[in-house]
Amino acid sequence: MKRTLTAAVVGLMCLGGAAGAQDARTPSADIVEARQAAMMLSGVAMGSIKAAIDAGQPIASQRFPTRALSRWAHAVPATFPAGSGAEAGVRTNAKPEIWSDRAGFEAKAADYAAAADRLAELAGGEDPAAFAAQWAVVRASCQSCHDGYKAG
């Protein structure tokens, strides 16, 4: 599982570098593509964690993906700077409400970060039931942001 996640990260990094080398990109277009890749990786991490929970794997095996998820959660607001919506010239599902309701967006992101931090903390423990319950909290927090700020 860890090797699959690592391979996905390396592969996406290579693709990102190749795409950047092919044409001159605007900084806003680059940030949109970077955040889309990071969102994809967070989905991979969530899937990996859920698979481990369902398989009854030791929760300590999830330290890497939970730490990665936590770090991403803290970075989310910074990956949505002004000018990185549809006007960036790259297809994005980011709703304009991200910028028009910035305080609400940042509050949702802070909730997600706190939930992800707790999940990473629990990955260092020995309570699979608490870990599984916290995964559900992270998922719900992530979904609540998507519900309000993601189109499609």
Q: Which CATH number fits domain 2-149: 3.20.20.10, 3.40.1190.20, 1.10.3720.10, 1.20.120.10?
A: 1.20.120.10
- Select the more confidently predicted residue: 17 or 148: 148
Q: Per-residue confidence at 26, pLDDT binned at 50, 70, 90?
A: confident
How far apart CA 7 and CA 140 sit, in angstroms, is: 27
Asked whether the beta carbons of 55 and 49 are under 8 A apart, the reply is no
| pLDDT over 90 percentage in the chain | 77
pLDDT, greater one: 63 or 7: 63
The better pLDDT of the pair 108, 15 is held by 108
What pTM value is reported for the model?
A: 0.82
CB-side neighbour CA atoms (13 Å) of 43? 8
Percentage of residues of the chain with pLDDT beyond 70: 84
CA angle 141, 146, 151 (to 5 degrees): 175
How many Å apart are CA 85 and CA 81, to the nearest integer? 8
Judged against a pLDDT cut of 60, whether residue 1 lies above it is answered with no
In this predicted model, what pLDDT tens digit does every residue of 2-20 receive, in sequence order? 555 554 444 544 444 444 4
CA-CA-CA-CA torsion sign (104, 110, 113, 115): negative
Dist CA 15 CA 37 (whole Å): 10
